[in-house]
Every structure is written in C-alpha cells, then in structure tokens.
Structure 1
Amino acid sequence: MNRGVRQGVALGCRGEGNDLPAFRQSTRARQEVCPQMLAVPEPLSVDDSEAVTSRAFERRALTASVRQLSVVTNARGLWAVARQWLIIALSVAFVVQVDRWWAWVLAAVVISSRQHALLSLVHEASHHHLLTNRKLNDLVSDLLCAFPMNITTEGYRKEHVEHHRYVNTEKDPYWRTAQRDRAWIFPRTRRSAALVLLGDMVGFFSLSHLRIVVPWSYTGRSMGKGGPPISRAEHVRYALWLAGFITFLTLTGGWLHYLLLWSIPSLTLMMMAFRIRALVEHPFTPATPDETHETRDVEGATWLERFFIAPFNASYHLSHHLFPSVPYYHLPALHQRLKQTDLFRPGENHFQTYLGGDKSAWSFLTSASNQDIPHPLPVKD
C-alpha cells in the first residue's frame, strides 16, 4: 500500500450488535465479524466501514479506487496552510495601508472566510490528512490552524470521531449540541432562517457558539470540560505558541487589529458561514438505518460558496462520511465514482448549490411553514 494511504479501508462487511441500535455498529464489532478488514483502526481514528448505508452499494468494487484516492500529499497540505496565512497577511497589510472604515470591514469579511478555512484544515488534520507523519500533522495543525482559532487538534478529533461513529444519535456530540439549541433546528421559514443568520452576524449567538468549542479548546480540556487529557507535547507547544503570539502583538502594536480583524469576525461572520455549512451537512433529526438520509453532498457549489461556506471541498460531506480516509483534494473524484451508484437522491442528500436556485440546499432549509418548524428532541446528559 502506498505511503499515506489510510489502512482502515474495509471490503464491505457489516457486523451485528453492540450498545448502539442495530444499524449503528462500533468498529470493534465490525472487526470481530469482518476479518478481511485491511487493518485495525488506531485509537481516535475512523475507519471507512464506519458509515452505515442500507442502499444498494457495493463497497468492494470501490476498494481499489479508494486506496488510490486515500494517498496524502504533504506538499498540498503545507501549501493549503500557507495559502490561508498569505491571504490573511495581505488583508491586514491592506488595512494598514488604506486605513479606512470600509477597508477594515472588507478585510474582516475576507479574514473570517480564512478562519473558516483554518477550521476545515483542523478537520483534515483530525483525520491525519494534512501530513503523512502523524506527529508533524498534529504539530502543524495546532500551531498554524487550531491554536489561532482557540481550539486544539486532539480536542476536536475526539468529538469528531464520535460524530462519525454515532451520526445523529445521542452519542453524537454535534447532535446533542443541536438538540439543546433551537437555533440549529431546520427546516424553517425563510424569515425565521434569516433571523438566525442575522443573529450570528451581530453576535447574538456568540455565547452558544463558544460552548460548542469548549471541549475542543486548551482551556476547556485543562478544566475537564471535555476532550482527552492534554499531553506534555501539547502543553509545551501551546505555551510556546502563546508566548510568541503575545510577544508578536505587543511588539507590533497589533492588539486592536487582532480584536477587530480576528476576534470579532471569528464570533460573528465566520460562525454564520459555519452554521450554514453544518446545517447542510446534517439534518439534526434522529438517526435512521441509512446514514445517507442524514448526510449530504453539494455538487455544484459556486466559487463564492466554496470560499466562504465550504472551503476545501467540505461540500462533499456524504462522500467524506462514506470514505473518511480520502483527503479533501480527492473528494470530487470520489463523488463522481459514487454518482455511479444509487446513493444520491436529489433534494434529500444531494443538492446543486448552497444558496441559489430551486435545487439549492437553502431551498430545502427554508421549506417549512409556520406550523411545521420542528422542535428539539430531548437528550440525556
């Protein structure tokens, strides 16, 4: 197998029974009844057999293709990180040079989009897709993607693995969060949906968004609020990063720029784009025996949608859930292969765009009448 290929590609077996409903089986259960798996997944990783689909779907026929598409390329990961920081640096330089109110606003909008991109790169790193060396993967992700966004790669990874394994069940941390906050429950009316996004834009939901990232953050993990215990290596690199960060802003006098161009956009504009993407990826409804009812692909996202809402091919979310070993740059090719099956159902788990036209995900998200707006479901703490 080529270097960088994720070794958990399964050949299409399904197990029986554990503490989840019958249609949500753990990796261990599948390993026990599926000996032809290529390898046992490592802790805090997900295997390509995690997704459950009852549709006619021959995974074995895709095994060779998935192996090829699962190759991680270091240069692409490093360039992806460098590109975001180049755009951020140019945006700040633009503000310093022009120093007009509209320049600050424009730069904040652009930087918020790159913050969203950095979060997507943390997601890639959580699947070990950034770099082939796992220690360097986490180091680069922490220092250049996660720490600047006030989270940690390992903290994010823990919840994200649980999300993959238990999509839309009470063991899915994303689903539990949504059920505690009615603003995540869609479809809605157009007016109601617009009010939620406006609330994001002006910071009305900032506190609820902060609660989401507490288990991912260094502070939250230190206080026992979630995530795995912090390792010695994480302690060291966070201390070095924080010292460097404070020193840099103090020496450059950049504290005001950090507040206006980084902190505020990360809690407002970025979270609005984050919500749209998350709502399209999964409806926060109870799990069914077929994960393809709960996960979606957006095939024809416009360049603006890719820039602000779905960086790094995040629009191919169903494809990602079915084969999480595939890095973002190969998801379009994987999607094309999956289109040859009968997995995709237009208007349900397959949309053309996010926001524009009758075939957009937004049309679906705003399809409720005043009487049909769903309510959160009870969850057990």
Structure 2
Amino acid sequence: MPAAARVQPKDFFTPEEWGPLTRRSSWKGLALVAHAWGVIGLAIAAAVVWPVLIPLSVMIVGTRQLGLAILMHEAAHGGLHPNARVNDFVGHWLCAVPIGASLASYRPYHLSHHKYAQQAEDPDLPLSAPFPVTRASLRRKIVRDLTGQTYFKQRVAPFFRRRQPDAPEGANVTVRSVAPFFLVNGLMLLGFGLSGLWWAWFVLWLLPMATWFPMVTRLRNIAEHACTPALDDPLRHARTTRANLVERALIAPYWVNFHCEHHMFMYLPCWSLPEAHRLLGAKGVWPRMETAPGYLAVLKTASARPA
C-alpha cells in the first residue's frame, strides 16, 4: 500500500510563520528533559517527607515517565537538540533507557508508523484498530494497567522469551534494552539505598512505572488514533485532544495532545505544536481536523460499542 497522504506546510503557513515553527533549539529540549527529572525528583521528595502524598506522587511520577517516553519520541524525530549526537545521547540514556526503551529500536519503528499512519502496514495499528470497545472492556483494560498486569505482560515476560527475529521492531524493544535498563535502574536503586531510602525506588519509581505509566500510555494511544476516520485525509489520521491543566499534569505532558498537528508536520519541535494549532485555528482549519474537547470525550467515543 502507498504511504499515507501528506500535507504541504506552504498550503497552511506563510514562510514567515513556518520558519519560527521549525526552528531547532540547543536548550529547549534539554530543558524539558531536566524538567521531567526535576518533577520526578520533587514528587519523590514530597512523598518521602509526607507519606500521605504517595498516591499523588505515584500519579505524577508515572506521568513524567510517560513524559520521558514523549521526549524519547522527540529525539526520534531529531527534535531534542540540533546536534545529532547530543540529541541521540540524551534521548537514549536520559529518556529511553530509564523506562526500559531503546531509541535506536524505537526510531525506525515509529517512523514506519508515520509513513503508513492508520493503514495496514502501520505497526501501531493494533493499538487503535480494536476501538470502539464496550465500557466493560475499557474498564478491564484500565484495571489491568493499574494492577501491574499490563506491565508484567509487556515489560517483564519478554525478558524470559527468546528474541523473535521475524517480530516487528517494536516487539523486541524491551528485550534489546534490558541490560542498559538494569544498569541505570541498578544505579538508581544503589543511590536510593545509600540514602537510606531503598524502599522509595520500589514505591515511587517502580510502582508508577508498573501502574500509572501503562494506564496513561493507553489513554494517550486511544486519544491519538482510536476511532479516527479511515479516510485518505492527512488531517484526520490522528486526533488533537484539548487538554486542561489537570490533564496536562496527569495524562498528557509536553504537548503530546497536539497529535493531529504532529502527524501533519512531523518534524515540528513539540514546543511549536501549540502555536501551530493556534495558527491553524486562525486560518479556519480546525473544522477539517480530527479534534476532541477532552480526554473524557475521547474515552466516551472509544467505549461506545454496545455491550
């Protein structure tokens, strides 16, 4: 099947508008990575001092672990830093490896997703194709996420299986990154242990990774592509979800909710997506795009199949 239809930036933006949107930064991407780790550190510290905050900290840390995955995604597009070596080093070691991923494995897999978005060759199609489902089915998926069952299936069980040479790239990402993952996380556990807080690594790093992180990753995947029209329309391959402050803090960090704009112009840095969205609205393009007013609205659509 031919590649998914594309749009031309010149059809939507003037050169004066497009230039600032595409400009790479030597500090913004690095600042976002620092922000993610800073929020994680503050959430862990707050929970250590005030244990009553542990449930909230688990949600915040899990969302920033998703944030690290989003910044790995940014690095896969070369957007974290204009220097390719810096981009790949930071994207791999500071974003991908701590959460059990591999930038080198993820990049070709993800770019294939962009090339064949929502078509049979799209490696991410299984994530969106089953929707809509029933409310009971969606509820069961979320329960599996929050009880660690999804994490065990996706991140633990593959360690005990032989690598499948004919499997899609994404299927072996966790297996390929197991040694770096254990190295980095072993150092983190050692650091917590030397501080007398060995338990915090399990409760405030591993627990969020095994529960909240899979759940918000699922919500993100649903919002991005589930129930989008199966049309040869590059403005409808992906969905932009308008996220409020709470949703940005606990579900959709680092402008990941502007996914329609990302698929339309996939090499825009993530910090340019809100401005691209604003300009498209000013030009009257929003009605042609796939959008949703919030994550609850998306979940309602995605769980609309009768029981």
Q: TM-score range, shorter-chain basis?
A: 0.7 to 0.9
Equivalent AA in structure 2 for residue 62 of structure 1: F
Query: What's 2:73 paired with?
Result: 123
- Shift of the alpha carbon at 1:287? 4.8
Q: Is 1:205 aligned to residue 159 of structure 2?
A: no
Equivalent AA in structure 2 for residue 110 of structure 1: I
Q: Is 1:337 aligned to residue 279 of structure 2?
A: yes
Q: Is 1:291 aligned to residue 228 of structure 2?
A: no
Alignment match of 1:163 (pick from 103, 113, 118): 113
Q: Is the 8 A contact 1:292 1:343 kept in 2?
A: no
Alignment match of 2:23 (pick from 71, 86, 93): 71
- Shift of the alpha carbon at 1:63? 5.7
Q: Is 1:194 aligned to residue 139 of structure 2?
A: yes
Question: Aligned in 2, Cα 1:350/1:239: closer, same or farther, shift over 3 Å?
Answer: closer
- Shift of the alpha carbon at 1:58? 7.5
SS at match of 1:112: helix
Q: Deviations over 1:163-208 (max 9, x none)?
A: 00011223221114666xxxxx222333432332222112232244
Equivalent AA in structure 1 for residue 233 of structure 2: D
Q: Distance in 2 between matches of 1:73 and 1:93?
A: 31
Q: Distance in 1 between matches of 2:14 and 2:227?
A: 30
Query: What's 2:48 paired with?
Result: 96
Q: Distance in 2 between matches of 1:352 and 1:242?
A: 38
- Shift of the alpha carbon at 1:138? 1.1
Q: Distance in 2 between matches of 1:259 and 1:243?
A: 12
Equivalent AA in structure 2 for residue 297 of structure 1: T
Question: Aligned in 2, Cα 1:333/1:95: closer, same or farther, shift over 3 Å?
Answer: closer
The 5 Å alignment of 1:1-381 reads 20-21=1-2, 24=3, 51-52=5-6, 59-62=10-13, 64=15, 65-98=17-50, 100=51, 102-176=52-126, 185-210=130-155, 227=169, 241=184, 244-245=187-188, 247-283=190-226, 287-298=230-241, 300-339=242-281, 344-345=286-287, 349-355=290-296, 360-370=297-307
Query: What's 1:46 paired with?
Result: none
Equivalent AA in structure 1 for residue 56 of structure 2: L
Q: Is the 8 A contact 1:283 1:294 kept in 2?
A: no
- Shift of the alpha carbon at 1:220? 9.7
**Greater Cα radius of gyration, structure 1 or 2:** 1
Question: Aligned in 2, Cα 1:76/1:220: closer, same or farther, shift over 3 Å?
Answer: farther
Q: Deviations over 1:6-45 (max 9, x none)?
A: xxxxxxxxxxxxxx24xx26xxxxxxxxxxxxxxxxxxxx
Equivalent AA in structure 2 for residue 317 of structure 1: H
- Shift of the alpha carbon at 1:293? 3.1
Structure 1: give runs of 5+ residues left out of the alignment: 1-19, 26-50, 180-184, 371-381
Q: Is the 8 A contact 1:154 1:227 kept in 2?
A: no
Question: Aligned in 2, Cα 1:71/1:178: closer, same or farther, shift over 3 Å?
Answer: same
TM-score scaled to structure 2, two decimals? 0.83
- Shift of the alpha carbon at 1:362? 2.6
Q: Is the 8 A contact 1:166 1:172 kept in 2?
A: yes
Structure 2: give runs of 5+ residues left out of the alignment: none
Q: Distance in 1 between matches of 2:128 and 2:11?
A: 35
Q: Distance in 1 between matches of 2:184 and 2:145?
A: 29
Q: Distance in 2 between matches of 1:170 and 1:62?
A: 31
Q: Distance in 2 between matches of 1:71 and 1:85?
A: 25
SS at match of 1:313: coil
Identify the structure with bigger relative contact order (alpha carbons < 8 Å, sequence gap 6+): 2
Root-mean-square deviation (CA, aligned residues, Å) is 3.5
Q: Is the 8 A contact 1:297 1:319 kept in 2?
A: yes
Q: Is the 8 A contact 1:287 1:294 kept in 2?
A: yes
Comparing 169-178 with 265-274, greater Cα deviation is found at: 169-178
Question: Aligned in 2, Cα 1:361/1:341: closer, same or farther, shift over 3 Å?
Answer: farther
Question: Aligned in 2, Cα 1:208/1:349: closer, same or farther, shift over 3 Å?
Answer: farther
Q: Which structure dedicates a bigger proportion of its chain to helix?
A: 2
Equivalent AA in structure 2 for residue 84 of structure 1: A
Q: Distance in 2 between matches of 1:260 and 1:104?
A: 8
SS at match of 1:262: helix
